[in-house]
Amino acid sequence: MTLPPLATAFDARQASSLSDDKIATKATRDADRLRGAAEGFEALFLNQILQSGRAASFGDSLTESSATQTAQSLLDSTLTEVGAGRAGLGLSEAIYRQFSAHLGGVQE
């Protein structure tokens, strides 16, 4: 039985750097998922605010049709998704900072 040359033998340093790379990749992926979840929550929150505001308005006969209400609902959803992806209320950033401390990996 012959052993492989030392140069081709398993190098523990390479293994540790490989696992470090995998850990960093997972941490980055988790951070991206957390940011997406935080932005989604902010969009949902903004959408609820808009819906509550529309429900509390006195309304008029022009906005009482179901087609108009559906169009307003779609518009509200689009506006909140776009708003949460940008500056928004800053809620998504606060949520991200709060929970990223628990990731144990890369923080921005």
28 Cβ contact partners less than 8 Å away, ≥ 6 residues apart: 105, 106
Residue 108 domain flag: no
9 located within any domain: no
Q: Does residue 68 lie within any of the structural domains?
A: yes
Start-to-end CA span in the chain (Å): 52
- What is the spatial distance between Cα 46 and Cα 2, in angstroms, rounded to a whole number? 68
Q: Is 2 part of any domain?
A: no
Domain count, the chain: 1
What string of H, E and C letters represents the secondary structure of 65-91?
CHHHHHHHHHHHHHHHHHHHHCCCCCH
Instruction: Express each pLDDT in 32-79 by its tens digit.
Output: 999 999 988 988 888 888 888 777 766 666 667 777 778 787 887 777
Give yes or no for a contact between 81 and 36, defined as CB atoms under 8 angstroms apart.
Answer: no
Domain for residue 45, yes or no?
Answer: yes
Of 21 and 93, more confident: 93
**Domain that residue 82 falls in:** 33-54+64-103
